[in-house]
Structure 1
Amino acid sequence: MAAVSLLAAPAAGAEGDPSVLQASNGYHLSGDWDGDGVDTPGVFRPGSPNTYYLRNSNSSGVADITVSFGGGGSVFPIVGDWDGDGDDTIGLVAFGSPNRYFLRNSNTSGVADITVTYGSYGYPLIGDWDGDGDDTIGLVAFGSPNTYYLRNSNTSGAANITLNYGGEGFPIAGDWDADGDDTVGLVRFDANGVVDNRWFLRNTNSSGIADVTFDYGRGGLEVIGDWDNTGDDNPGLVYPGQPNWWDLRNSNTTGPADTSFTYGS
């Protein structure tokens, strides 16, 4: 199945406003850019035009793919396998009432292959919610609890799945149990960076408590992916710098990073 890929680089106090969830050196992404079953890093820098820098291995080096797509305004990068062909490709969300999604089926410059309106503001979340092989749109409204609105096609309409899950923290999604569909999760960072991050993963898109809870990393910015081509998605962290430092773990358990490297700056 396609890998789920999304990262917002959170600014302090900006949890409810994804238009400002951006690090000074860009957004960090992950995706299976070449369809080999392994998710690898990417960096998105907004501008006129926006530029994506995508790498096909979890190692230090330069981008294998550099592509421009869209530009200007308040946008948020997303990636997913929009057409079910096995590789992840680029997209953008322009926030408003409604939000507008611009999805491209290849990692090349050009116009959107799919344009769709869905929801208003909120936090974009992408996944294969029904296990059919293509990634589709979703949105999280922050609250106590958070409310997830997930749609099974990249078309306008009402949510196919609505659920409540978690509260304070950052929403994530992935195939935590390798069953072919993506489900919700949450990562909670300590504001002072003195205790480990705590990850709360749920194996169904339904309200309830976490099926898997573990601590991993301290501080950083979350990325999710199947780093070792085993079919399940696992945690990763990016520590922004000159260059950025990536720590990826191959299981949803407490422990050190299995893979570490620098990429982007």
Structure 2
Amino acid sequence: MDPRKNQPSHLVDEPGALAASGRSPATRARRTLVRVVTAIAALGAMIVGGAVPASAAPAGYSVAGTDVSNHDGTINWGDVAAKGVKFGWAKATEGLDFVDPQFNANYHGAKNNGVYIGAYAFGRPDKGVGTGKAQADYLVDHAQYVNDGKTLPLQLDIEWPWWTTAAPIYPCYGLSSSQMVTWIRDFVNEVKSRTGREAAIYTNPNWWNQCTGGNGSFSANALETSNYSGSPGALPAGWSRFTAWQYAGSSSSLPGSPTVFNGTLSDLAAFAGGGDLGVLEYYLSDSQGSSVATRPVIYYGSSPQIPIVGDWNGDGVDTVSTYDPTTSTFYISDNPVTGNAERVIRYGDPGAQPLVGDWDGDGKDNIGVKMGFTYYERTGPVSGAVENTVTVAFGDAPWLPVVGDWNGDGKDTISAYNPANGNFLLSDNPANGVAQYVIAYGNPNAIPLVGDWDGDGKDNIGVKMGATYYMRTGAVTGAIENTRSIGYGNTTGDLPVIGDWNGDGIDTQGLAR
């Protein structure tokens, strides 16, 4: 028998908390290699559907769930769903050499019964200071993650070592606080790189504050906190809110330990689908005359990432990708509907402004950044490690970067937009520092747009003001200012994206929110 089948995982907040939770060590050990956090519908919805809540949630929390251990074997998800369960996380891996034998059955059983499901890894920093990334890869490789609006973000379970209370493994796996922070950062960064979504973290304040030194830099990761004292209590350092709270021990009416979601059922659906908890949604149209999206919604990246657009592989079709200004990292994808970044490139300094353009005329877009009044063009393809850089000084620091092929030679050049007066300052040769074309268009502080609106191989300018996109179809070399306009999206909160989504040679509007 594999001894790991009886390993406990996802322990309570602190060994001393057992008295408060009323759980014996044997009961505590029951929470082993399949941990499923499941949430049920609000009470009114359960009454309509005939479902009976498994257990009463604490006052103020309408969406309840259960945490299932592998002592329950393969879960009867039809029964679980009939009792109101709506979503769950199932343990998939531990360390670098264990995959839970029930994970596949529970993952598909949940989905087949309409239950949102995700996967988590029990973190094992004792396997090596440098194994955070490898353990994240091991999870992603076995988690069957897809960004389909029905699968939860992957989760790291990081807490007390379940198998010992003896030093040096206990309590912090033999790592210093700085080593632990590095290990966790390596793990969550790799999950984000592989899936395009921030990893969730399960932990508790007593372990976290001790073993990370009270590190507060992980607030972008959704928190599931554990506390059996009757309230969520203090949260680990860095978090001001939790996403889920495991509040008690095992349940008699459902396998596992009850948990609540911090929000409404709509919030839960948004979390599973990405919407209101920071995941970027893209609404793209193939028609300049359409006020609604003509393509299915794409979920890719998350706040504070910035949407970017490029034809990365030269197939003539633009795809959305993202840039994270906090880490100066580009997350590039030729197929963002999967939610996965195929290439992750760190370039420039944090806080830089991202650039995208075909600097060398090979038909493939490259990346770059603007820092101050200096533009850095990375001429190596995004598919390779070559980072040759061309540096250009142009304009003033407050000006916003714009990029376009103004003369149809197949090469993009950097230019600028001055939000103070609404002027575009465009150049085919920005290295000389001179703007060849100065065009006043739109109101000051509009959002600048660039696109080939008419398919002639030359980029034109435009602006977004409120909820309206204005596309100037006249060439930048001339005075003609024919304009196409379309109302698209909301007045505030939407970020415009422009691209050739279908490869017809004409750029059209889109938005990210």
Q: TM-score range by the shorter chain?
A: 0.7 to 0.9
- Structure-2 residue corresponding to 1:67: 298
Q: Kindly indicate whether residue 475 of structure 2 is the aligned counterpart of residue 248 of structure 1.
A: no
- Structure-1 residue corresponding to 2:410: 180
Instruction: Report the alpha carbon displacement of residue 202 of structure 1 after superposing the two structures with TM.
Output: 1.1
Q: Determine which of 349, 364, 368 is the counterpart of 1:138.
A: 368
Distance 1:47 1:53, change over 3 A: farther
Q: Kindly indicate whether residue 380 of structure 2 is the aligned counterpart of residue 147 of structure 1.
A: no
What CA distance in whole angstroms lies between the structure 1 residues aligned with 2:276 and 2:405? 29
Q: Percent same amino acid among aligned pairs? A: 32
Deviations 1:18-41 (A, max 9, x none): xxxxxxxxxxxxxxxxxxxxxxxx
What CA distance in whole angstroms lies between the structure 2 residues aligned with 1:212 and 1:218? 18
Q: Kindly indicate whether residue 333 of structure 2 is the aligned counterpart of residue 111 of structure 1.
A: no
Comparing 60-69 and 173-182, the one that deviates more: 60-69
What CA distance in whole angstroms lies between the structure 2 residues aligned with 1:135 and 1:46? 31
2:425 counterpart letter in structure 1: F
The normalised TM-score by structure 1 is 0.73
Pairing of 1:76-91 with structure 2 (within 5 A): 76-91=306-321
Instruction: Report the alpha carbon displacement of residue 254 of structure 1 after superposing the two structures with TM.
Output: 4.5
Q: Which runs of 4+ in 1 moved over 6 A?
A: none
Instruction: Report the alpha carbon displacement of residue 62 of structure 1 after superposing the two structures with TM.
Output: 1.5
Instruction: Report the alpha carbon displacement of residue 79 of structure 1 after superposing the two structures with TM.
Output: 0.7
Does the CA contact (< 8 Å) of 1:59 and 1:263 recur in 2?
A: no
- Structure-2 residue corresponding to 1:201: 426
- Structure-1 residue corresponding to 2:447: 221
What CA distance in whole angstroms lies between the structure 2 residues aligned with 1:235 and 1:198? 11
Instruction: Report the alpha carbon displacement of residue 47 of structure 1 after superposing the two structures with TM.
Output: 4.4
1:185 counterpart letter in structure 2: S
Distance 1:119 1:236, change over 3 A: same
Instruction: Report the alpha carbon displacement of residue 246 of structure 1 after superposing the two structures with TM.
Output: 1.2
Look up the SS of the partner of 1:108 in the other structure: helix
Deviations 1:111-163 (A, max 9, x none): 11211111112110100000000011100012xxx101001122556452101
Larger relative contact order (C-alpha < 8 A, sep ≥ 6)?
1
Deviations 1:26-82 (A, max 9, x none): xxxxxxxxxxxxxxxxxxx8844211111111113321221001234x211111001
What CA distance in whole angstroms lies between the structure 1 residues aligned with 2:419 and 2:479? 15
Instruction: Report the alpha carbon displacement of residue 200 of structure 1 after superposing the two structures with TM.
Output: 0.9
What CA distance in whole angstroms lies between the structure 2 residues aligned with 1:80 and 1:46? 26
What CA distance in whole angstroms lies between the structure 1 residues aligned with 2:426 and 2:414? 6
What CA distance in whole angstroms lies between the structure 2 residues aligned with 1:85 and 1:206? 29
Instruction: Report the alpha carbon displacement of residue 184 of structure 1 after superposing the two structures with TM.
Output: 1.0
Instruction: Report the alpha carbon displacement of residue 205 of structure 1 after superposing the two structures with TM.
Output: 4.8
Relative to its length, the structure with more helix (as a share) is: 2
Distance 1:181 1:96, change over 3 A: same
Gaps of 5+ in 2: 1-274, 491-513
Look up the SS of the partner of 1:132 in the other structure: coil
Count of residues in correspondence between the two structures: 208
- Structure-1 residue corresponding to 2:497: none
The normalised TM-score by structure 2 is 0.39
Distance 1:48 1:215, change over 3 A: closer
What CA distance in whole angstroms lies between the structure 2 residues aligned with 1:47 and 1:58? 30
Relative to its length, the structure with more strand (as a share) is: 1
Look up the SS of the partner of 1:138 in the other structure: strand
Does the CA contact (< 8 Å) of 2:310 and 2:319 recur in 1?
A: yes
Structure label with greater radius of gyration: 2
